[in-house]
Structure 1
Amino acid sequence: MSPLPWTLIMIFTMITLGLVSMMIHFYFKNMSDQNYKIKTNLFKIKW
C-alpha cells in the first residue's frame, strides 16, 4: 500500500473544500449586496 493515493485524495479534498467555501462566501456576499441594494432603494423611495 503506497502513500501516494492518500496524498492525492487529501489534496483533492482540500481543493474541493476550498472551492466550496469560496462559492458559499461569494453566494452570501451577493445575497447581502442584493439585500443592501433593496434596502437603499426602499429608503430612496420613502424619502
Structure 2
Amino acid sequence: MNNFFEIFRFLFSKKTRIIFIPAIIVLLIASILLGASQGTAWAPFIYTVF
C-alpha cells in the first residue's frame, strides 16, 4: 500500500504532471472505449498495431 501512495505522489508532482497526466487520460479513454464496445469491434485494429 505504501508503494501505491509513492507512485501517486510521483505522478502528481509538479515536474511529472505535465507529461503523465495527458498520457493517463488517453489510456483511460481508450480503456473505456474498448470496454464499451466489448472489444470485438476493435480487434482488427489492435491486431494491426501489434
Question: TM-score, normalised on structure 1?
Answer: 0.47
The structure, 1 or 2, with the larger RCO (C-alpha pairs under 8 Å, 6+ apart) is 2
**When you count helix as a share of all residues, which structure comes out higher?**
1
Max Rg structure: 1
Question: TM-score, normalised on structure 2?
Answer: 0.44
